[in-house]
Amino acid sequence: MNNHTAEVLIIGAGIIGASVAYHLAVRGCTDVLILEKADVPITGSTAFSAGGVRHQFAREVNIRLSKYSIERLKNFSEEIGGHADLRQTGYLFLINDEDTWAQYQEQARLQRMLGVRVELLEPRDALEYVPGIRLDDIVGATFGAEDGFCDPYGIASGYLKRARELGVHVALSTPVTGAQLNNDHLLAVETPDGLVSGGFVVNACGAWSGQVASLFGIDLPVQPVRRNAYMTECFPKFPDPIPLTFDVDTGFWMRKEQDSLLFGMANPTEPPGVNLNVDWEWLPEVLDAGIDRFPLLEEARLAKKQCWAGLYEISPDHKPILGRHPELPNYLHASGFSGHGVMHSPAAGMLIAEEILDGRAHSINIDELRITRFRNIAVQNETNVF
Ligand SMILES: Cc1cc2nc3c(=O)[nH]c(=O)nc-3n(C[C@H](O)[C@H](O)[C@H](O)COP(=O)(O)OP(=O)(O)OC[C@H]3O[C@@H](n4cnc5c(N)ncnc54)[C@H](O)[C@@H]3O)c2cc1C
């Protein structure tokens, strides 16, 4: 590590740290150093993401983060030079109870008001998108044509490469292990190579951000929670593409990954913790839910070696935690994306750059995302999460 001081220190070289670095550098703030504990960048959750992007959220702020970010991903190659590989193959939500259907119709009104293309479908219309769905209990479906999926590694490495070209440095094998504070000012971070001082410090450590925040004396409510992604062998019975399709009742989801099918379902009893082993005991529950809704799936064969597990970085209300820490204003939060950090990475990078360079994020109002919200009694949860 050559630099022991920088105007901005970013902890974590995942998609969020890379996006923050790029957005600072492109605005002329190039004295930026990323500190990464691993010996190569992009080995955290970003490398294990399913890459889904969607506008269909319940909270306005999440819809705005998605709208801005997906627009930027469309022009990623021209703007940044990397490959976002955005495929707008849609997201289809299948709903089987009237109360949830009423909520989804309400959400669709909000999404449309914000300029999102979302359709309300009669149950039988869903068959146009995915063959063989069991529809007897489905009361409605929503389809977002501009949703889809992207290449998380391509985006993160694109941001990182461009940031480096603009002058950003990356120190690998450099875990942040402590902090030096002076009352309400952060002076330096500790690493095995010595102290590194920075005017600003951004915590972009994803699933580890709570642990890293505690080094600064900050109680950040972000927990690592394992999520599994299972893959079938080549399975042409579902055409390519199908939309990323959710059975809302169970949370079972699937999409095509080339000729194969990628699928999963969150285990509500999964305890917080760092566990990267695929949960094979959970698989029968996932398959039961999947085959019950999509009977064709019974004919698919599991590609055991292609399955994986990674970590979500879950906040209490499933929304990111962004912006300056009130009692330590030169320390910034950029984590807690709760499984949506890839799709929101362009907006997150831009907003954190605004917090640092303009004093406050202004392109999107992030007051609902500041850590201070947890001091209020009535926190507004994002409900459309799995
Ligand atoms: C199975 C799965 C499916 C997912 N699907 C989607 C999806 O469809 N769409 C979507 O948008 N998101 C999805 N996600 C979530 C997405 O992957 C994350 O929200 C996103 O990658 C978070 O990026 P990050 O940069 O904050 O974290 P990371 O990529 O984890 O990067 C954090 C970095 O911080 C480093 N670090 C940690 N501690 C320290 C330290 N002390 N010092 C220095 N460095 C440190 C780590 O080594 C790591 O490189 C999924 C996640 C999983 C696991």
Q: Which amino acid is at 346?
A: P
Q: How far, in Å, from the CA of 129 to the mean position of ligand 1?
A: 31
In order of 13, 25, 92, 140, 220, the CA distances from 361 in angstroms are: 22, 16, 32, 38, 20
∠ CA 29-45-163, nearest 5°, is 20
Closest CA to 10 of 185, 258, 212, 152: 212
CB 286 within 8 A of CB 294: no
The more confident residue out of 381 and 58 is 58
What does the DSSP 8-state code read for residue 123?
A: G
pLDDT at 271 over 80: yes
pLDDT at 144 over 70: yes
In order of 54, 105, 177, 348, the CA distances from 58 in angstroms are: 11, 10, 37, 19
CB 53 within 8 A of CB 69: yes
Mutate to test the pocket of ligand 1, among 9, 23, 49, 253 (most ligand atoms within 8 A of CB): 49
Residues 6+ positions from 194 with CB-CB distance below 8 Å: 4
Q: How far, in Å, from the CA of 45 to the mean position of ligand 1?
A: 3
Closest CA to 96 of 221, 212, 252: 252
What pLDDT shows up at residue 381? 79
Q: How far, in Å, from the CA of 239 to the mean position of ligand 1?
A: 30
Helix/strand/coil for 216:
coil
The torsion defined by the Cα of 42, 47, 244 and 268, in degrees rounded to 10, comes to: -110
pLDDT at 3 over 60: no
What pLDDT shows up at residue 101? 98
Could you tell me the end-to-end alpha-carbon distance of the chain, in angstroms, rounded to an integer? 40
Report pLDDT digits (tens) over 211-224. 999 999 999 999 99
What pLDDT shows up at residue 55? 98
Mean pLDDT of 6-13: 98
Q: How far apart are CA 43 and CA 65, in angstroms?
A: 24
Q: How far, in Å, from the CA of 46 to the mean position of ligand 1?
A: 4
What pLDDT shows up at residue 378? 66
Q: Whose CA is nearest to atom 20 of ligand 1?
A: 341
Helix/strand/coil for 71:
helix
What does the DSSP 8-state code read for residue 207?
A: G
Report pLDDT digits (tens) over 286-298. 999 999 999 999 9
Q: How far, in Å, from the CA of 16 to the mean position of ligand 1?
A: 8
Please give the number of the atom of ligand 1 that sits closest to the Cα of 207.
30
pLDDT at 96 over 80: yes
What pLDDT shows up at residue 377? 60
Q: Token match 């969607």: residue?
A: 54
Mutate to test the pocket of ligand 1, among 33, 34, 40, 45 (most ligand atoms within 8 A of CB): 45
Provide the pLDDT confidence category of residue 385 given band limits of 50, 70 and 90.
Answer: confident
What is the dihedral sign for C-alpha 54, 267, 250, 132? positive
CA gyration radius, the chain: 21
Mean pLDDT of 22-44: 98
∠ CA 37-40-43, nearest 5°, is 80
Q: How far, in Å, from the CA of 41 to the mean position of ligand 1?
A: 11
Mutate to test the pocket of ligand 1, among 342, 344, 351 (most ligand atoms within 8 A of CB): 342
Q: How far apart are CA 43 and CA 40, in angstroms?
A: 7
What φ, ψ does residue 355 adopt, rounded to 5°? -55, -40
The more confident residue out of 379 and 254 is 254
Query: What residues are paired with 253 via a beta bridge?
Result: 246, 264
pLDDT at 2 over 70: no
Mutate to test the pocket of ligand 1, among 208, 211, 257, 270 (most ligand atoms within 8 A of CB): 208
Q: How far, in Å, from the CA of 227 to the mean position of ligand 1?
A: 12
Q: How far is CA 112 from the centre of its chain?
A: 23
What pLDDT shows up at residue 384? 77
Q: How far, in Å, from the CA of 166 to the mean position of ligand 1?
A: 24
Please give the number of the atom of ligand 1 that sits closest to the Cα of 215.
41
pLDDT at 65 over 70: yes
Mean pLDDT of 331-354: 98
What φ, ψ does residue 134 adopt, rounded to 5°? -75, 115
pLDDT at 197 over 70: yes
Name residues contacting ligand 1 (CB within 6 A). 11-17, 35-38, 43-46, 48-52, 175-176, 204-208, 212, 227, 229, 310-313, 335, 337, 339-343
Please give the number of the atom of ligand 1 that sits closest to the Cα of 12.
34
Report pLDDT digits (tens) over 232-265. 999 999 998 999 999 999 999 999 999 999 999 9
pTM across the whole model: 0.97
User: Considering the chain, what percentage of its residues have pLDDT values greater than 90?
Assistant: 95
**Averaged pLDDT score across all residues of the chain:** 96
Mutate to test the pocket of ligand 1, among 46, 62, 263, 322 (most ligand atoms within 8 A of CB): 46
User: What would the two tokens of residue 61 be?
Assistant: 């702020």
Q: How far apart are CA 164 and CA 142, in angstroms?
A: 41
User: What would the two tokens of residue 176 be?
Assistant: 């942040």
Q: How far apart are CA 57 and CA 116, in angstroms?
A: 11
* Length, in residues, of the chain: 386
Please give the number of the atom of ligand 1 that sits closest to the Cα of 228.
1
Q: How far, in Å, from the CA of 222 to the mean position of ligand 1?
A: 12
Q: How far apart are CA 350 and CA 365, in angstroms?
A: 12
Q: How many CB atoms lie within 10 A of CB 334?
A: 29
Please give the number of the atom of ligand 1 that sits closest to the Cα of 344.
11
The more confident residue out of 88 and 1 is 88
